[in-house]
Amino acid sequence: MQRTDKVWWCIAALSGAVLVILGAYAAHGLAARTTETMVSAVETGVRYQAWHTLAIMVVLVWRQVQPLAGQHWVLALWVLGMGCFSGSLYLMALAGLNIGIVTPIGGLLLMAGWLALGVVALLAQRRHT
């Protein structure tokens, strides 16, 4: 395993731990502190973070089988996107901070990661045909 992959795995593990902690808090304690809208915002952040954490792990397994240069861009876009999208929702609900444009920028980064995944897959297919 490449050293950079170990870092990505650690990021995925930390992301998984954070999403479980925040998901549990949203389900069991957050409603007493804030509005239902804010609880829903945390749940949305957790859901997006969970799916993208899983996707990161899938790409890391793919890298073990077929390492490709563009895969790191996919991972980076998803990690930045999760930080911006989910992180801004968490800050809004838990700290009362509204950092406005960061949430949609995070969504765009997540989308860009998915598009980058498609490009990497298409380029990999071309090299092997």
Q: What is the pLDDT of residues 10-37, one digit of tens each?
A: 999 999 999 999 999 999 999 888 999 9
Spatial distance between the Cα atoms of 67 and 96, rounded to a whole number of angstroms: 42
pLDDT digits (tens, 9 = 90+) for 27-65: 999 988 899 999 999 999 999 999 999 999 999 999 999
Q: What backbone phi and psi angles, to 5 degrees, belong to 34?
A: -150, -170
pLDDT given at position 128: 60
Enumerate residues 6+ apart whose C-beta is below 8 A from 60: 5, 8, 9, 12, 75
Q: What is the pTM of this model?
A: 0.93
Q: Running DSSP on this structure, what letter comes out for residue 101?
A: T
> Cα dihedral sign for 46, 117, 56, 73?
negative
